[in-house]
């Protein structure tokens, strides 16, 4: 297909996306000609387009590189790709107007529209996400979800060198700031020209709703404060979470904890994560119920889960907020030294917080409160309630909101490393990493391994390790001593 036909087809899709009219065609085609380094447009027909915008843009990027508009640096390709895809994306005011129009009919129609747009214009990097290795792992807590994260491509030496030489710019302040909407990007900062944010009013505050470019689950979204401020769990957190699932009842929403070690990767900007996904923790049942005498409308219980989770259910958002906040404040000052649970250091440094998750269950609002403690010790310098050294060969990073709910986000190194483990188990030539040896030998001793079952055995073992990772992060352990301690805390409520 000629470059002229590619450009014409791409503009046809741009007009169909809702941001332009047929009258804009010549203007748009001339914009693209300039962007890819062409001087003119040859004859080409306006026709029904069968290729996706992503495929067409890939051809346009090749032409731009051949015309020396860009080099082979991935960052330059990403910047131009986002500029082209911006033509596929209506302006923010139009996107918000469409969202409101669909929302007036049904909240699901509104998110369906915005999600489809974010995929079509490649803001959600569907091809890259498809590289992830995903498999379930059966455990005593149900089927956990395992993801080896391969969506973000590794930088080549030229890209790393270019980033080092790039001028340092303090704009936007972080990748969650609203100033990212439409931002061109630079060699050391991602392109966001095709990025759009839906404006939300949460109890008088301005917030934004967007999707995650590198989604880990269905309709992975981010709700972010307009103000660039640190994350902080407060009573307002519970109010906002419940308000969000009132506005978007088909989504869950949760917050990372707000302390180092147990918090998420971005603590500098107040935000929540949500989406249209049922996590393993959501289907885990309450194994023990209890009463909160000051909140008779609230059903409360302990969830059968490797971490320490209190679940609250009720029809009254107000009661649910107050009960959640009461438990949170109690936990902030609660210590059980016998279990190495210490609320504050001698200098007053706080160590207790929670990871809260809200969702709808028919006519009930539901709040899960995951108790977190970020203390360290001489034995566990990375964190007493953090993956312990013997499981860090699989997972040593922080246990954030997504992992808490039962979805492991594992590092890219495991793609090749687990293949070497399989070769070792089959007595084939291998380059197994030393830190996997003890684990691999245990697998050898415990299983009859063949070429047909080796992958299944390794994947099941990875799931078991992830369950142990979550148990390590649990403050009240899943043994008699730990559960007795959990009940002491429950009685203090």
Each residue's pLDDT tens digit, 40-61: 999 999 999 999 999 999 999 9
Kindly report the average pLDDT of the chain as a whole number: 96
Supply 5's token pair.
């036909």
Cα–Cα distance, 59 to 68 (Å, whole number)? 14
Question: Residue 156 pLDDT more than 70?
Answer: no
Question: Does the structure show a pLDDT above 80 at 161?
Answer: no
Which residue from 443, 444, 463, 439 is spatially nearest to 389, judged by alpha carbons? 439
Residue linked to tokens 């197994």: 432
Work out the burial of residue 235: count CB atoms within 10 Å of its CB; fewer than 13 is exposed, 13-18 middle, 19 or more buried: middle
Mean pLDDT, residues 443-451 = 97
**Strands in 1-104 per DSSP E:** none
d(CA 177, CA 331): 31
pLDDT band at 265 (very low <50, low <70, confident <90, very high): confident
Q: Tokens 């050391």 map to which residue?
A: 188
Q: Which residues pair with 146 in a beta bridge?
A: 135, 408
Please name the helix (run of DSSP H) or strand (run of DSSP E) that holds residue 100, with its range, or none: helix 92-103
State yes or no: pLDDT of 74 exceeds 70.
yes
Q: In what order do the strands lie in the sheet with 142-148?
A: 133-139, 142-148, 407-410
Which H helix or E strand runs over 205?
strand 205-211
Residue 419: HSE in the Cβ half-sphere, 13 Å Cα cutoff: 6
Residue 163 has pLDDT above 90, yes or no: no
Nearest of 258, 199, 248 to residue 226 by alpha carbon: 199
State mean pLDDT over 359-369. Answer: 96
Q: What is the CA radius of gyration of the chain?
A: 25
Rounded to two decimals, what is the model's pTM? Answer: 0.95
pLDDT of residue 155: 66
Q: Which two tokens stand for residue 410?
A: 């594992």
Is residue 160 pLDDT above 80, yes or no?
no
pLDDT tens track for 279-333: 999 999 999 999 999 999 999 999 999 999 999 999 999 999 999 999 999 999 9
How confident is the model at residue 150, as a pLDDT? Answer: 95
Tens of pLDDT, residues 184-225: 999 999 999 999 999 999 989 999 999 999 999 999 999 999
Sign of CA dihedral 291, 292, 295, 299: negative
Q: Residue 262 and residue 397: Cα distance in Å, rounded?
A: 10
Q: What is the pLDDT of residue 162?
A: 73
How far is 313 from 325, CA to CA, in rounded Å? 14
d(CA 274, CA 358): 9
Q: Quote the CA–CA distance of 15 and 18 in Å, as a whole number.
A: 6
Helix (H) or strand (E) segment spanning residue 84: helix 74-86
Is there a contact between 408 and 395 (Cβ–Cβ < 8 Å)? yes
- Give the per-residue pLDDT at 154: 66
Structure tokens at 372: 């977190």
As given in the structure block, the two tokens for residue 192 are 């966001």
Quote the crossing angle between the two packed helices 25-36 and 3-16, to the nearest 10°: 130
């Amino acid at each position: 297909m000629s470059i002229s036909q590619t450009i014409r087809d791409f503009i046809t899709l741009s007009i169909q996306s809702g941001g332009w009219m047929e009258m804009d065609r010549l203007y748009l085609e001339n914009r693209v000609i300039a962007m890819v380094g062409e001087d003119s447009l040859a004859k080409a027909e306006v026709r029904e387009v069968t290729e996706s915008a992503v495929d067409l843009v890939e051809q346009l990027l090749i032409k731009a590189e051949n015309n020396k508009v860009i080099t082979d640096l991935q960052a330059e390709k990403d910047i131009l790709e986002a500029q082209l895809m911006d033509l596929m994306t209506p302006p923010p005011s139009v996107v918000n107007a469409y969202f409101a129009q669909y929302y007036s009919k049904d909240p699901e129609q509104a998110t369906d529209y915005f999600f489809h747009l974010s995929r079509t214009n490649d803001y959600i990097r569907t091809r890259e996400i498809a590289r992830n290795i995903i498999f379930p792992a059966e455990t005593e807590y149900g089927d956990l979800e395992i993801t080896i994260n391969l969506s973000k491509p590794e930088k080549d030496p030229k890209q790393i060198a270019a980033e080092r030489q790039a001028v340092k710019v303090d704009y936007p302040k972080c990748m969650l700031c609203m100033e990212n909407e439409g931002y061109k990007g630079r060699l050391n900062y991602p392109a966001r020209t095709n990025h759009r944010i839906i404006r939300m009013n949460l109890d008088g505050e301005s917030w934004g709703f967007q999707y995650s470019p590198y989604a880990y689950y269905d309709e992975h979204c981010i709700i972010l404060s307009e103000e660039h401020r640190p994350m902080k769990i407060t009573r307002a957190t519970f109010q906002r979470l419940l308000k969000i699932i009132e506005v978007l009842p088909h989504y869950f929403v949760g917050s990372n904890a707000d302390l180092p070690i147990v918090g998420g990767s971005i603590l500098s900007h107040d935000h929540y994560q949500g989406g249209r996904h049922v996590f393993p923790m959501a289907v885990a049942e309450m194994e023990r119920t209890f009463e909160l005498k000051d909140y008779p409308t609230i059903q409360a219980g302990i969830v059968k889960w490797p971490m320490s989770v209190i679940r609250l259910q009720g029809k009254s958002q107000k009661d649910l907020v107050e009960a959640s906040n009461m438990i949170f404040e109690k936990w902030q000052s609660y210590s059980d030294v016998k279990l190495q649970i210490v609320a504050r250091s001698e200098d007053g440094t706080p160590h207790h917080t929670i990871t809260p998750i809200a969702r709808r269950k028919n006519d009930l609002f539901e709040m899960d409160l995951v108790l977190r403690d970020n203390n360290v010790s001489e034995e566990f310098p990375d964190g007493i309630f953090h993956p312990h050294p013997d499981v860090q060969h699989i997972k040593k990073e922080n246990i954030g909101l997504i992992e808490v709910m039962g979805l492991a986000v594992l590092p890219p190194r495991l793609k090749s490393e687990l293949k070497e483990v399989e070769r070792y188990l089959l007595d084939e030539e291998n380059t197994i990493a030393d830190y996997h040896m003890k684990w691999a030998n245990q697998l050898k001793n415990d299983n009859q391994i063949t070429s047909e079952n080796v992958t299944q055995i390794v994947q099941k073992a990875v799931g078991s390790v992830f369950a142990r990772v979550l148990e390590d992060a649990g403050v009240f352990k899943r043994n008699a001593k730990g559960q007795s301690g959990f009940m002491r805390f429950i009685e203090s409520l």
